Amino acid sequence: MKKLAIKSWSQDDRPREKLLLKGKNTLSDAELIAILISSGNREESAVDLSKRILQSVGNNLNNLSKLSIEELMHFKGIGEAKATTIVTALEFGKRKQFEKKQQISKITSSFDVAKIMQPIIGDLEHEEFWVLYLNNSNKILANHQISKGGLTATLVDVRIIFKKALELFAVGLILCHNHPSGKLIPSNSDIELTKKIKKATFTLDLKLLDHLIITEKAYFSFADEGVL
């Protein structure tokens, strides 16, 4: 079946024209992606190709954001440039979501921390270790990536954690790392590292307020569970 090129569509149905005439909120996810990739392949229009890509991930943008450039290039009509454009656009969306979460003015619970950190590390396929640095009013001074590791572990240099705390004149620390496996149970190394950091905070007159293990849909709080 010969594809119907977008140029032959009614002007109201062309994604770019629709965006200009009716506004961004009128476009479907597939139409937005079609604008990004500009063209399809010999059998599909840009919109049809975009629909097929979305269907492959259950029409879920979060799942789409997990596809690598190489995985996107498996779709006929998606080369490196188009795949890079899709990944870049989704990363911008993720960062916008993160900035919105950062507007939390004061940390009052582990839930506040999870809201900030899940968009950053919740869906990663490797482990990362982050620290939130707080002032005396529990307001965030900075959040900093300490280390980046593999599928099951990441090495943490405790000296880096405290160097940053002293530079910021922080009063409180909240540790965060993700478990790509989705398991929320802290490992023995998680527990030992937490104890090591907590012991060091006494010497520097700092407070270790919590340690969260983050997954895509849930979290484990050492403080909430009484194991800090």
H helix and E strand count, the chain:
9, 5
Our CA dihedral for 49, 75, 84, 217, rounded to 10 degrees, sits at 90
Where does a domain end: 69, 99, 129?
A: 99
Q: How many domains does the chain have?
A: 2
Find the mean pLDDT for residues 209-226.
95
Is the same domain home to 87 and 186?
Answer: no
Domain span at 204: 105-221
Looking at the predicted structure, is the pLDDT value of residue 161 above 60? Answer: yes
Domain membership flag for residue 126: yes
Residue pair 197/173 in contact by the 8 Å Cβ criterion: yes
133 shares a domain with 81: no
- The CATH number assigned to the domain holding 110 equals 3.40.140.10
Q: What angle do CA 219, 186, 190 make, to 5 degrees?
A: 115
Which CB contacts under 8 angstroms, 24+ apart, belong to 79-83? 82/36, 82/37, 82/38
User: Does the pLDDT at position 196 exceed 50?
Assistant: yes
pLDDT higher than 80, residue 105: no
Q: Which residues contact 92 (CB under 8 A, 6 or more apart)?
A: none
Together in a domain, 62 and 162:
no
pLDDT value, residue 12:
47
